[in-house]
Amino acid sequence: LDRTFGGITMLPPYQRGIGEWYNGTANAIYQNMNYIVDNKCENVLILAGDHIYKMNYQKMIRAHERKNADVTIAVKEVDMKSASQFGILSANKNGDITEFEEKPKNPKSNLASMGIYIFKFEVLKDMLLSYCGPNGSEDFGKDIIPRMIGRYKMNAYKFHGYWKDVGTLEEYWRANIELTGDYPPLDLYEEDFKIHTKSEELPPVKFGKNGVAKHSLVSNGCIIKGYVENSVISPGVTIEEGAVVKNSMVFTNTVIKKDSIIDRTIIDKRVVIGKNCRIGIGEDYTPNREIKEKMNSGINLIGKFAVIPDGTYIERNCRIMSRVEEYDFDSKRIKSGETVHSSKEGSFFDLFLT
């Protein structure tokens, strides 16, 4: 990826000190149109950032060129029960797209857009200049693709492999936990299609005399003296004696102290869970009062740098915000659906520690 020609170029929003932050997928491309023009490309491949899958894009590009399509959309058949969560399209027997609707209440088919597009450059430029920027359109699925139906040659490229949209909290959690099974739907160890990731320069995993990990992914630098099951443990995590972690994701350099029990929780980096805590308990699934539509499946969130006091009980659908400290807790028991905020939230200091 480190090359004189090609490679990866980061184009963060607001990088030139003018304009505005990205407001959607189409708006992000629109704001970087000069970069695409300078590269003199014939086709532009646009990918989503919240999907998990493995795909050889060369096959899709060849299909796009063979059919001389103006735009090709990667699609996958989904369960009709969940079709309303996606952009749904209809296509004829030749693969030509005839209809498209973003998250329809009553979907006409189960052919879901994967958020992967190949545009002819000139078509992409015309659409974005016509509808983005001052004209207000921001998203491909909502604003751009529907306007192209009947006007351009649009092709559906069917994908038959594993694909997961992790745009919701539960799907993000589920996609990670699925990787811990004996036969995960996504093969992380396939020699012919390696997944490259950041590797921490840390010692090997160390297990104490009572340390156990079952059906879990445990990264380098971890010290496991407790019990781990069906969980993803990031580099540098310490799980002390008597601690139990199940069905959870624990991020880098977090410490879970003695005799604490964690279930169905996502814990961000550099968190300290005190002794004898219980997180993810009870049968009360009251949705989080601040974000009911996003946290209602029983999963807890603990933000980075948080410190959970010894003996704290946290039920379900709770949020412990970043940099929460012991004095931010009014009670040792956090009821389902509650949020604990930090007195430091929104401070200037936060900008340098995200």
Q: Look at residue 348 in the predicted model and tell me its pLDDT.
A: 41
Beta bridge partners of 353: none
Does 354 score more than 60 pLDDT? no
Q: Look at residue 11 in the predicted model and tell me its pLDDT.
A: 84
First-residue to last-residue Cα distance in the chain: 26
Q: Is 81 exposed, middle or buried (0-12, 13-18, 19+ CB in 10 A)?
A: exposed
What are the tens digits of pLDDT across the range 2-23?
Answer: 667 777 888 877 544 455 677 8
- Give CA–CA dist 268/175, Å, rounded: 17
Does 352 score more than 70 pLDDT? no
Does 316 score more than 70 pLDDT? yes
Give the mean pLDDT of 272-295.
96
pLDDT category at 255 given cuts 50, 70, 90 is: very high
Q: Look at residue 135 in the predicted model and tell me its pLDDT.
A: 74
* Amino acid at position 28, single letter: A
% of the chain exceeding 70 in pLDDT: 94
Does 179 score more than 80 pLDDT? yes
317 Ramachandran zone, left/alpha/beta (phi>0; psi -120 to 50)? left
Q: Residue 31 — φ and ψ, nearest 5°?
A: -70, -15
- Give CA–CA dist 211/226, Å, rounded: 5
pTM recorded for the entire structure:
0.85
What are the tens digits of pLDDT across the range 88-142?
Answer: 999 999 999 999 998 899 998 999 999 999 999 999 999 999 998 777 778 898 8
Q: How crowded is residue 246: how many other Cβ atoms within 10 Å of its Cβ?
A: 18
Distance of CA 295 to the CA centre of its chain: 15
Is 263 within 8 Å of 281 (Cβ atoms)? yes
What are the tens digits of pLDDT across the range 66-102?
Answer: 999 999 999 999 999 888 888 999 999 999 999 999 8
Q: Look at residue 345 in the predicted model and tell me its pLDDT.
A: 66
Q: Who wins on pLDDT, 170 or 349?
A: 170
